[in-house]
Amino acid sequence: MIATEIRSAVFIIDDDASIRDSVRSLLKSVGFHAEAFGSTEEFMKAERADAPSCLVLDVRLPGKNGLDFQDEMERAGLQIPIIFITAHGDIPMTLRAMKAGAVEFLSKPFQKEDLLAAIEQALARDRSRRDGQAQLDVFQSRMEKLASKEREVFFDIAVLSKMATRLSAADPVNQVLHEVVEFVAAVVECDSCMIYVMEGDDLVLRASKNPHPESIGRVKMQLGQGITGWVAEHRRPVAVAESASQEPRFKVFNELPEDSFEAFLSVPLVSGGRLVGVINVQSRAPHVYTQREIGLVSAIGFLVGAEVERARLETENSELSGKLEARKIVERAKGILQRELKISETEAYRILQRESQQRRKSMKDIAESVILNDELKGSSR
């Protein structure tokens, strides 16, 4: 089948041939174009259709696991929505996958209706992303036909309107940040664009358009460090037209060749008075940043700040729910140990703690084992 004839595609990666064959057969039976692979390496080497797509990905794979492959795809800028499937899932694993933008996390054996619903959602997300990029391409085409001043006004309105629309779509924050990088790079001609997000006491690089995508998540700095840290601390933009590396506030990273950049623009992301992060734009050639460029990047930063703050609150709520669920499981296991061993609550807790340390598993995992053993004993009675 010719790639351009494919309306949408679903890719399956699972080292279990029976699983990938059954999933592929199911998808083909309902009209999907499906392709199956036994490993991530096989998937990356294959020629894929340029159409709305999604990936059904097993978590436990030989060599690189599914979660690590999700990170690799993000660093490589490969934006294919992922549906995870696994026979050994847990809450931390699920939270990591969903925080990184996964559409769904299904436990084997899963209901075919749940898989099909997740695939429809993933394909709809990818269609939306592609439509957004197509609209941006149309805007840029129209811009070229307008007079210089009209082109600037038209583009500014189009960019902000499109940015607001994308943010309202409630996509995963990582996907939004990558799109913001593309938008900013279109607004200001540059060689590098990076977004740092405030996480705890550190500014962490979370999205980037530069020759070193592997630096995402690794590069960190504190408030006051470098121009980025200064902008975060004072919540004011800084624009350096040339010799940026000679600026006293500039910070050089071993991971990034920032000292080779001449021009540097740094703008804070703020939401409701709270610092959320910083957008950096860099150019290897000298460049005088206009008030229009600074103002437009600042406006995008304001929109993005609100979205990142929303995502942060959702993540905190999700993590809190996970902790509460784990606590309930531990409390239930303590009660079982107290009943079976005729011991105090403190002694029961110490047993769970000791088993956790010796087996190198979380207390939640140990508690689940205690509960499962008790249920098996009860059913045998």
At 170, the pLDDT band (50, 70, 90 cuts) reads: very low
pLDDT at 159: 55
Q: CATH number for the 317-380 domain, one of 3.40.50.300, 1.10.10.10, 3.30.565.10, 2.40.30.170?
A: 1.10.10.10
pLDDT at 37: 92
- What is the average per-residue pLDDT within 155-160? 52
At 1, the pLDDT band (50, 70, 90 cuts) reads: very low
pLDDT at 295: 81
Pull the structure tokens for residue 369.
């084992």
Lowest model confidence (mean pLDDT) among 88-102, 193-207, 244-258:
244-258
pLDDT tens digits for range 16-49: 899 989 999 999 999 899 999 998 899 988 888 8
pLDDT tens digits for range 241-300: 887 767 666 665 544 544 477 888 888 888 777 888 899 888 888 988 888 788 878 877
Nearest to 302 by CA among 260, 270, 276, 272: 270
pLDDT at 282: 86
Pull the structure tokens for residue 21.
């064959």
Q: Given the DSSP bridges, would you call strands 9-13 and 53-58 parallel, antiparallel or unpaired?
A: parallel
CA distances from 304 to 10, 96, 168, 206, 278 (A): 31, 22, 11, 13, 10
CATH number of 3-124: 3.40.50.2300
- What is the average per-residue pLDDT within 56-61? 89
- What is the average per-residue pLDDT within 79-106? 82
Residue 240, pLDDT > 80, answer yes
- What is the average per-residue pLDDT within 150-161? 52
Nearest to 95 by CA among 326, 357, 366, 371: 326
What gap in Å lies between CA 34 and CA 10, rounded to an integer? 5
Domain parsing of the chain, residue ranges: 3-124, 317-380
Alpha helix ranges (H) inside the chain: 17-29, 40-45, 66-75, 91-99, 112-143, 148-168, 173-187, 226-234, 291-341, 345-359, 363-380
With pLDDT > 90 as the criterion, what percentage of the chain qualifies? 14
Lowest model confidence (mean pLDDT) among 83-92, 207-216, 282-291, 358-367:
207-216
At 117, the pLDDT band (50, 70, 90 cuts) reads: very high
Cβ–Cβ < 8 Å for 177, 304: yes
pLDDT at 98: 78
At 53, the pLDDT band (50, 70, 90 cuts) reads: very high
What gap in Å lies between CA 175 and CA 219, rounded to an integer? 19
Contacts of residue 351, defined as CB under 8 A and 6 or more positions apart, other chains included, come to 337, 341, 343
Higher pLDDT, residue 362 or 171: 362
Mean of per-residue pLDDT scores for the chain = 80
H/E stretch holding 170: none
pLDDT at 148: 52
Residue 314, pLDDT > 70, answer no
